[in-house]
Amino acid sequence: MKALVTGFEPFGGDRINASLEAVRRLPDNAGAIEIVTAALPTSYARSLPALEAAIALARPDIVLCVGQAGERAALCLERVAVNVQDAEIPDNDGLRPVDAPIVAGGPAAYLATLPVRAAVAALRAEELPAQLSMSAGTFVCNHVFYGLMHAAAGRRHAFRAGFLHVPRLPQTGRDAPSMALDDIVKGIAIVLEAAGPGTVA
């Protein structure tokens, strides 16, 4: 089994993004799962083409996109991607869509096909703070999550897919919740193993 794991480039004036730092430090394997990684631009226009290219190259069985949610204190398994773009801050291209669909005429929402509840349980069993989340927001992370699930739904080469939001790293100097980089790296591997061979969604 092969997993593609992506992280996002820094955005909103930050110099680092916990998701990309963690994804860069992933080992080559999580249990029986081979891990390949890619960086996605925090851009409405460029993120999904980059994701599609990474999927075409890797032909993965699992795709886990990871992003940073600056105000969250736990690893958040996202359950649902919605067909809305609504940005409170500009993306890295200066774009700030308001109330726009991601896919015109597309379904209102998609559910993750990774076993999100089992992943939360596995994270908590390792004493990592974890939650199911009902919203990935309406910024670029939700955009990528929706585009990912839309692509998965229309593809012959089937893969399980989902989205993980992670807290900031402690060293960002912000008065915000944070999590140690090693714990985020470990958490991503645990989520992949929960989605691996022998598990049910």
Asked if residue 187 lies in contact with residue 129, where contact means CB atoms within 8 angstroms, the answer is: no
150 is catalytic: no
141 is catalytic: yes
Nearest to 138 by CA among 169, 109, 162: 109
Q: Which of 11, 146 has the CB closer to ligand PCA?
A: 11
Q: Which residues contact 191 (CB under 8 A, 6 or more apart)?
A: 64, 75, 77, 114, 119, 122, 123, 162, 164
157 is catalytic: no
The distance of closest approach from Cβ of residue 131 to ligand PCA in the complex, given in angstroms and rounded to an integer, is: 15
Asked if residue 19 lies in contact with residue 188, where contact means CB atoms within 8 angstroms, the answer is: no
Decide if residue 147 touches ligand PCA (CB under 6 A): no
Decide if residue 92 touches ligand PCA (CB under 6 A): no
Residues 51-90 as x/- pattern, contact with ligand PCA by CB under 6 A: ----------------xxx---------------------
From the list 65, 76, 165, 193, the catalytic residue is 165
DSSP state of 170: G
- Footprint of ligand PCA (CB under 6 A): 8, 11, 17, 19, 42, 67-69, 137, 139-141
